[in-house]
Structure 1
Amino acid sequence: MHDQSATPKPLVDELLELKDWGRDLRIDACRGIALWWIFLDHIPNNIGSWLTPRNYGFSDAAEVFMFISGVTCALAYGKAWRCEGWTGVIGRTLRRSWDIYVAFLLLTLASAILIHLVGGGPSADASNTRILLDQPGATLARAAILQYRPVNTDVLPIFVLLHLLFAPLLWLLLRVPNLTLGASVALYVLVHFFGWTVPAWPNSHWAFNPMAWQLLVVLGAWWIIEGNKVQPWVRSRAALVLAVLYLLFSLITALSWRIKPLEALIPQMLAYLLYPLDKSNLDPLRLLHFLAIAVLAAWLVPRNWRALETPVMRGAIRCGQNSLPIYCLSVLLAFVSHMALLDISNGLAMQIALSVGGIIAMIVSATLLNLISIKPRQHPARNSSP
Structure 2
Amino acid sequence: MKFRDPRLDFFRGLGMFIIYIAHLPWNWWSLWIPARFGFSDATEIFVFCSGMASALAFGKVFDVHGIPMGIARVAHRMWQVYWAHICQFLVIACGIAALHQSGFLNDCCDLTEDYVNSLNLWPFFNDTPQNLFGLLTLTYVPNYFDILPMYIVILALIPVIMATARMSAWLAFALSAGLWLAANFGLLNLPAEPWSDRPWFFNPFAWQLVFFTGFAFMRGWIPAPPVNKVLISLAVAVLLVSLPFAYFRIHGNVPEIQAARDAIRPLWIKTEFGFFRYIHFLALAYLAWVAAGDKGLRLFGHGRIWGGFVRIVQKVGQQSLAVFMASLVIAQAAGLMRDMVWGRGDWIPQILSNLFGFAALIAVAYSVAWFKGQPWRKTPKPAPAHDEHARQSHVTSRSVEAAG
Task: Indicate whether the TM-score tops 0.5.
Answer: yes
State whether residues 108 and 150 of structure 1, in contact with CA within 8 Å, keep that contact through their aligned partners in structure 2. Answer: no
State whether residues 21 and 29 of structure 2, in contact with CA within 8 Å, keep that contact through their aligned partners in structure 1. Answer: yes
Task: List aligned pairs for 1:277-296, cutoff 5 A.
Answer: 277-296=268-287
**Paired residue for 1:269, among 231, 236, 259?**
259
Q: Distance in 1 between matches of 2:221 and 2:243?
A: 28
Q: Deviations over 1:292-326 (max 9, x none)?
A: 11121221112133544722222221111111111
Q: Deviations over 1:71-125 (max 9, x none)?
A: 1111111233455444432222111110001111111111211220232433222
**Paired residue for 1:218, among 200, 212, 226?**
212
Q: Distance in 2 between matches of 1:95 and 1:196?
A: 25
1:348 corresponding residue in structure 2: 347
State whether residues 31 and 64 of structure 1, in contact with CA within 8 Å, keep that contact through their aligned partners in structure 2. Answer: yes
1:45 corresponding residue in structure 2: 26
**Paired residue for 2:321, among 315, 320, 324?**
324
Distance 1:44-1:82 versus aligned 2 partners, 3 A rule: same
**Paired residue for 1:183, among 175, 185, 188?**
175
**1:162 correspondence with 2:150:** no
Aligned length: 357
Secondary structure at 1:121's aligned position in 2?
Answer: helix
Q: Deviations over 1:270-302 (max 9, x none)?
A: 244246941111121211110111121221112
2:79 corresponding residue in structure 1: 98
Between stretches 312-321 and 266-275, larger displacement belongs to: 266-275
State whether residues 108 and 149 of structure 1, in contact with CA within 8 Å, keep that contact through their aligned partners in structure 2. Answer: no
Shift of 1:70: 0.8
**1:310 correspondence with 2:307:** yes
Q: Deviations over 1:204-234 (max 9, x none)?
A: 23120111111111111111233563523xx
Percentage of identical aligned residues: 28
Q: Distance in 1 between matches of 2:167 and 2:216?
A: 11
Structure 2: unaligned runs, 5 residues or longer:
101-111, 301-305, 380-404
Q: Distance in 2 between matches of 1:82 and 1:271?
A: 45
Q: Distance in 1 between matches of 2:320 and 2:332?
A: 18
Q: Distance in 2 between matches of 1:267 and 1:161?
A: 36
State whether residues 32 and 316 of structure 1, in contact with CA within 8 Å, keep that contact through their aligned partners in structure 2. Answer: yes
2:361 corresponding residue in structure 1: 362
2:373 corresponding residue in structure 1: 374
**1:143 correspondence with 2:142:** no
2:385 corresponding residue in structure 1: none
Distance 1:316-1:173 versus aligned 2 partners, 3 A rule: farther
Q: Deviations over 1:176-204 (max 9, x none)?
A: 11221122112212222235312231332
Structure 1: unaligned runs, 5 residues or longer:
1-18, 381-386
**Paired residue for 1:75, among 28, 52, 56?**
56
Which letter maps to 1:300? A
Distance 1:135-1:269 versus aligned 2 partners, 3 A rule: closer
Q: Distance in 2 between matches of 1:238 and 1:183?
A: 30
State whether residues 101 and 156 of structure 1, in contact with CA within 8 Å, keep that contact through their aligned partners in structure 2. Answer: yes
Q: Distance in 2 between matches of 1:51 and 1:311?
A: 24
1:3 corresponding residue in structure 2: none
Q: What's the TM-score once normalised by structure 1's chain length? A: 0.85
Q: Distance in 1 between matches of 2:299 and 2:289?
A: 15
1:63 corresponding residue in structure 2: 44
Q: Deviations over 1:135-156 (max 9, x none)?
A: 2221111111111123422011
Structure 1 vs Structure 2 CA RMSD:
2.5
Distance 1:183-1:356 versus aligned 2 partners, 3 A rule: same
Distance 1:163-1:190 versus aligned 2 partners, 3 A rule: closer
Distance 1:163-1:187 versus aligned 2 partners, 3 A rule: closer
Shift of 1:349: 0.8
State whether residues 209 and 280 of structure 1, in contact with CA within 8 Å, keep that contact through their aligned partners in structure 2. Answer: yes
Secondary structure at 1:152's aligned position in 2?
Answer: helix
Q: Distance in 1 between matches of 2:23 and 2:122?
A: 19
Q: Distance in 2 between matches of 1:174 and 1:222?
A: 13
1:10 corresponding residue in structure 2: none
1:172 corresponding residue in structure 2: 164
Indicate the structure (1 or 2) with the bigger Cα radius of gyration. 2
Which letter maps to 1:183? L
**1:253 correspondence with 2:245:** yes
Which letter maps to 1:163? L
Between stretches 172-181 and 55-64, larger displacement belongs to: 172-181
State whether residues 174 and 225 of structure 1, in contact with CA within 8 Å, keep that contact through their aligned partners in structure 2. Answer: no
Q: Deviations over 1:233-284 (max 9, x none)?
A: xx343222111001012223323x2358x84596453244246941111121
State whether residues 316 and 361 of structure 2, in contact with CA within 8 Å, keep that contact through their aligned partners in structure 1. Answer: yes
Q: Distance in 1 between matches of 2:184 and 2:143?
A: 23
Distance 1:270-1:97 versus aligned 2 partners, 3 A rule: same
Distance 1:258-1:82 versus aligned 2 partners, 3 A rule: same
Q: Distance in 2 between matches of 1:275 and 1:292?
A: 20
Q: Distance in 2 between matches of 1:200 and 1:265?
A: 34
Secondary structure at 1:229's aligned position in 2?
Answer: coil
1:123 corresponding residue in structure 2: 115
Which letter maps to 1:305? L
**Paired residue for 2:336, among 336, 339, 349?**
339
Distance 1:171-1:66 versus aligned 2 partners, 3 A rule: same
Q: Distance in 2 between matches of 1:336 and 1:361?
A: 11
